[in-house]
Amino acid sequence: MLIGSCYLFSIASDAFGEIKTDREEKALTEKFVAGDRKANDKIAIIAIEGVITNNEDGFIARQIRRVLSDTDVKAVVLRVESPGGTMSGSDYYLHLLKQMKTQRKIPVVVSMGSIAASGGYYVSMVGDEIYAESSTLTGSIGVIASLFNAAELLEKIGIESTPITSGPYKTMGSFAKPMSEEERVLWQRLIDDNFERFKQIIREGRKELANNPGELDKLATGQIFTANEALANKLIDTIGFLDDAIERAGELADLGSGYRAIRYKPKLSFMEAMLEGRTPNKLLSGKTLSDMTTPRIYLLCPQVVPMGEWE
C-alpha cells in the first residue's frame, strides 16, 4: 500500500459557539475558533487528521465541499495532523484541495500539527505558505509497499494456497507465497513511479525546490525532519502555530481583523454520540484490518504507529 501518516482526530461536540449549517444526513457544524463572531467573512479550518485513506463521502471531502459552496469563506487554513496514508487517498485529497483553491480563488495556508509526514506532507503542497509548530515532525518523503510473507507459517499449520489465475503475476503480493525476483522488480517499478509523482508534486508546491532537483533528491530519503530542519531545507516557510496561520490567511485574503475563523465538526446523531464516547477509534475495525492486509502503495511514515480514526 501507499500510505500517509495519521493522528487521533477527536469529534467531541462543544455546543458553545456552534452554528448548524447543513440539514443533510452527514451534516457539518461550524465551531467558532477566533476573530469576530459577528463577521460575515470566514476563514475555514479544514482538518486532515489521522491515517489518510480514500473516502469520497468522508469528513475530509465534506469539509472541502462545504468551502466550495460557501461564498462567505475567503481563506482556508489546512490543519494537517497526519503521518500519511495511501498514495491514492493523499493524491485524491490534494486534487480536491487544488480544485477548491482554483474555483474559489482563495488563499490556503497550511498549519502542521505534531506530525505532517509523508502523505501528510504531500497534501500540504496545496498551501501558498506552510507553517509548522516548533515541535512538528515532517518530511518522510518516500513511498512504501507493505507486503508480508506468511508462506512458512501456513505450511507449518497445514494450510496450502492453491489459487487459479489468468496470468503469472495475478498473485503478486500475496502473503501466502514468497516473492519472486521478477515480482520484486515489478513492485519496485510501481514504487519508483509513485516516488517520482511525489517529487513532482513537491516541485509544483515548493518553488524553492522546483529549480533544484538535486537538493530535493537529498531530502527525499524518507527521513523525518524537525521544524527547524524543515525550515532550513525549505520544506516549510515559517515556524508558527495555528493562530499564526489563521492570521496569515487573513492577511493574504486582505480581511484585516474583520473575519471569524471556524472549524468544521461532524454533526452526530444521539446514538452516534453515545457510541463515539465508547469507541474512540476504529483501528481494529473490519475495514481497517482488511486495508492493512491488502497490498497497496503508501505514503507513510513507518516510524509512527497509526492511532485513532481512519478517515
Q: Which residues are catalytic?
A: 118, 170
Give the separation between CA 163 and CA 130, rounded to whole angstroms.
Answer: 49
Burial of 187 (C-beta count, 10 Å sphere; 0-12/13-18/19+)? middle
Kindly give the pairing relationship between strand 42-49 and strand 260-266. Answer: parallel
Coil, strand or helix at 140: coil
Give the separation between CA 219 and CA 203, rounded to whole angstroms.
Answer: 12
Give the separation between CA 238 and CA 111, rounded to whole angstroms.
Answer: 10
Give the separation between CA 268 and CA 204, rounded to whole angstroms.
Answer: 38
**Contact criterion met (CB below 8 Å) for 287 and 101:** no
- The closest alpha carbon to 52, from 99, 149, 98, 118, belongs to 118
Q: Report the amino acid identity of residue 81.
A: E
Give the separation between CA 276 and CA 257, rounded to whole angstroms.
Answer: 36
Q: Distance of CA 9 to CAs 87, 142, 255, 306, Å? A: 20, 24, 29, 12
The H helix count followed by the E strand count for the chain is 11, 13
**Contact criterion met (CB below 8 Å) for 75 and 106:** yes
Q: Give the phi and the psi of residue 109 in degrees, each rounded to 5.
A: -115, 130
Q: How many Å from the N-terminal Cα to the C-terminal Cα in the chain?
A: 16
